[in-house]
Amino acid sequence: MRSPLSTLRSLARRYERELVCGRCRAVLAWVRLRPVALMHVRDIAGAEVTPLGCRTALGITERRLGQARADAAAGRARALDEYDGIAACEREMAYLRREAGEVMFELRCPACRARYVRSLPDLASAVRRADGSRVELH
Ligand SMILES: [Zn+2]
């Protein structure tokens, strides 16, 4: 349990962390978190990851889910893909609905294609909680 003072200290600190793919352990992005500014996330090519409004992120996932259902109807194995299949898209939809109204980041592992969608508050708290310089996503 954290004391209110240590929580305040952690909110005032600056953080720079690597985001690591929980599936293959590749680094997929860097996060810089400062007290007042918006979080900055850069992919491994150095490009800024554009934050998405929750509604936009929902639209993207809805389209993916439609595609995954079409894949299933056509008997394509992609419908069962761990990250782009029906189950993955449904999980993502549920997450986006829980995090309604938040700014979202979508990260794709360059090594294994795993996709991670995280809200800004979720990512910020994972970054603040991390002991070392790496934050593993699952
Ligand atoms: Zn990966």
Q: What angle do CA 129, 132, 134 make, to 5 degrees?
A: 90
Q: Distance, CA 23 to ligand 1 centroid (Å)? A: 5
The residues, ordered by sequence, that sit 6+ positions from 24 with a Cβ below 8 Å of its Cβ are 109, 111, 112, 114
pTM: 0.84
Q: Distance, CA 138 to ligand 1 centroid (Å)? A: 10
Q: Distance, CA 122 to ligand 1 centroid (Å)? A: 19
DSSP state of 32: E
Mapping DSSP to helix (H, G, I), strand (E, B) and coil, where does residue 131 land?
Answer: coil
- Whether 63 contacts 91, CB under 8 Å: no
Reported as a single tens digit per residue, the pLDDT across 14-68 is 889 999 999 999 999 999 988 777 789 999 999 999 999 999 999 999 999 999 9
Q: Distance, CA 121 to ligand 1 centroid (Å)? A: 22
